[in-house]
Copies of this chain bind each other. A is one copy, B any other.
Amino acid sequence: MNLSRILVLGITTLLASTGLSTTARADEGMWLYSAPPRAQIKAKYGFDLTAVWLDHLMKSSVRFNSGGSGSFVSGDGLVITNHHVGADDLQKLSDETHNYIRDGFYAATPASEKKCVDLELNVLQSIEDITQRVNAAIPAGATGDAAALARRKITAEIEKESLDKTGLRSDVVTLYQGGAYHLYRFKKYTDIRLVFAPEGSTAFFGGDPDNFEYPRYDLDICLFRVYENDRPVQPQHFLRWSTAGAKEGELTFVSGHPGTTRRLLTVPELEYIRDSQFPLQLASLKRREVLLANWSARDTENARRAHDELFGIQNTRKARDGGLAALQDPHFFGTRVAAETAFKQKLAARADGADALAAFDRIAAAQKSVAAIAVRNRLLEGGTAFDADSFVLARRLLRHADEHPKPNGERLREFSDARRESFEQQLFSEKPIYPDLETVTLGDSLTALVEQLGAADPLVKTILAGKSPRTRAAELISSTQVRDVAFRKKLYAGDATVVANAKDPLIEIARAIDAEARALRRMVESADETKQQAQAVIGKARFALEGTSNYPDATFTLRLSYGPVQGYMEAGKNIPAYTTIGGLYERSLKQGNRDPFELPERWLKKRATLDLATPLNFVSTADIIGGNSGSPVVNTAGEFVGIIFDGNLASLSGDFGYEDVASRAVSVASAGILEALRKVYEAPALANELVTGRR
């Protein structure tokens, strides 16, 4: 279940991996706002990235803490993102009689805007390099566990200090695999109201089969309004709407929050992903997809309850399948190996290269230690053995009671003082949790637990208590009280004794695995620390050897990508950059207007009124990945010309590298959005607000 997740979406590379090279090619890169690719853009496009231009775009960009991106598009606090980002909130607002994901929503008046259940938005205000302060806090010679603890302590201290001083959400972000540490400060909003969503069938036209494909015809948008003190905020920065949009060949920028890339990993780390991590994850995703698809098909209400979860699984599954295909391609993987080998040879030729070479070995050894505990860690600390929101809540209650009495710097990171508000926002969320769905998912994940650890494993026996996985799941879900918010508040306010005395069966399951789960986490964090220290050494050597600057792997923090609107060739066929509203009707007709190519009645009726040549979707070469969903696409004037919602199939290797030959980012065009709002949804006020910037 997705109490928190990064939405996975299109990405990039297959042919021209940059491997370990530090020279970004073509329009590659998810650049830090604090180190934008000024020179490259100036050289290639003759455009100056000014500080003012960047600051405006940065402060107009919005992070959805549920796992996506967005932007302010009016001076009255209107924020646009993807339907598939807002879906999490649409799902939470829906019930047996209101299905906003399927049917859409429009608040024609301010009073009818609907407050989201637990959505938090973040707007980046500043970036501060704190690498020296962080590293200085690690005792000389400390490694592994000891260093990890010290780093956790200084991190919590910096975050708390910044929060107290500025009142802003303050996150220490690890960049370059440990080569740098930056402090990101965000303005945080928690009163977010739903304004508009199209029908799911329009937003996600073509469904899972067309996901990551192109040409596409999706109106994948969702609009919210941000409130403070019960009034719409008047943001200083928001994007002006371009009614014309971008022309083919025009340079555009993407400002969003790419979640994770793995482009700077060493070969042993990539081998681990290829041979173990992705196969394991894919098997888990596919079994959950089969489970939820089957359960959904049994009943329309089942389908509504499982919708958002099933979408997320299918989306990630398709992205991972594409990533694994890249890693299993001997040519692609070979370029990574060759790049690392070449770099190591250069190191070996230098007198001061020995340190960096030894660092490579330390990473390999740390990776091996992680691999050895991966299965148990995934099941127990990762929680995949307990696939139910109820379990997530149970564990948070248990751990809060244990962590809260500790000094801030010694707690598990998510329990630090600086994160308390966001933590409580999630813990006390009134979002609906369905016991029938939870029973099904917990039953299946307990089955997977028995498969993976064996029926004879002592911990498995403790968890099952002599019952079958399905019977045990039904018993645990029906008897736990954690779905009651009042119960959660009571336990949160109490101490460990209060939690223990509640004798909640699911909390007791969390307790039964907690010692091992914490130990596993500690081992992983210790290995991560080892890797980070080693990467810092390698990074230094690389800088000495290659001298150029580069962008770090994605970390779900704000980044700038760029590239022109541009079609591509696929299997000898020219794929044009733009699709149109007319194309949407054609594809639906060709597929017999059947699900998932079915158009809502409203669209069928309004066809004659529409300008069918209006651009609907387009592709550009910008370097994006999951988490970029909902990112604004702007032109050189900083105007909103579209919104990222996907990458094409070729882009799925972008986790590990970038190419701009066939990989493309896919966006909804600003013109198509206006045409649909005006003529199909008859929402002139909303369309006017986008164009004028004022309600």
Contact = CB atoms under 8 A, between A and B. Distances in A.
Interface of A: 207-210, 271, 274-275, 279, 282-283, 286-287, 289-290, 293-295, 297-300, 317-318, 324-325, 328-333, 447, 450-451, 454-455, 464, 466-471, 591-592, 594-596
Contacts of A294: 208-209, 318
A207 B274 contact: no
A595 B592 CA distance: 15
B455 A210 contact: no
A81 to B, nearest CB: 26
A99 to B, nearest CB: 13
B317 A469 contact: no
Contacts of A330: 455, 464, 466-468
A317 B450 CA distance: 18
Nearest to A321: B447
Contact of A470 (B325, B467, B594, B595): B325
A464 to B, nearest CB: 7
Given A283-B286, A289-B290, A293-B293, 15 more contacts: A209-B294, A209-B295, A210-B298, A274-B455, A279-B451, A297-B596, A300-B591, A300-B592, A328-B450, A328-B468, A329-B468, A331-B466, A331-B467, A331-B468, A595-B595
A283 B287 contact: yes
A441 to B, nearest CB: 14
A454 B454 CA distance: 23
Nearest to A461: B330
14 contacts: A208-B294, A209-B294, A274-B455, A283-B286, A283-B287, A286-B289, A286-B290, A290-B317, A293-B293, A324-B447, A325-B447, A325-B468, A330-B464, A330-B468
B328 A469 contact: yes
Contacts of A591: 299-300
Nearest to A297: B209
A160 to B, nearest CB: 44
B283 A455 contact: no
B282 A287 contact: yes
Contacts of A283: 283, 286-287
Q: Which 9 A-B pairs have the closest CB atoms?
A: A329-B468, A209-B297, A209-B298, A279-B451, A286-B290, A286-B286, A286-B287, A328-B450, A283-B283
Contacts of A454: 275
Contacts of A464: 330
A49 B485 CA distance: 65
Nearest to A313: B290
B455 A333 contact: yes
Contacts of A324: 447, 451
Contacts of A271: 455
A281 to B, nearest CB: 11
A451 B290 contact: no
A38 to B, nearest CB: 37
Most buried by B among A283, A454, A471: A283
Contacts of A468: 325, 328-332
Nearest to A448: B279
Contacts of A275: 451, 454-455
Contacts of A299: 591
A455 B325 CA distance: 12
Contacts of A455: 271, 274-275, 328, 330, 333
A591 B289 CA distance: 22
A387 to B, nearest CB: 15
Contacts of A333: 455
A617 to B, nearest CB: 18
A183 B661 CA distance: 64
A483 B164 CA distance: 73
A57 to B, nearest CB: 37
Contacts of A328: 447, 450, 455, 468-469
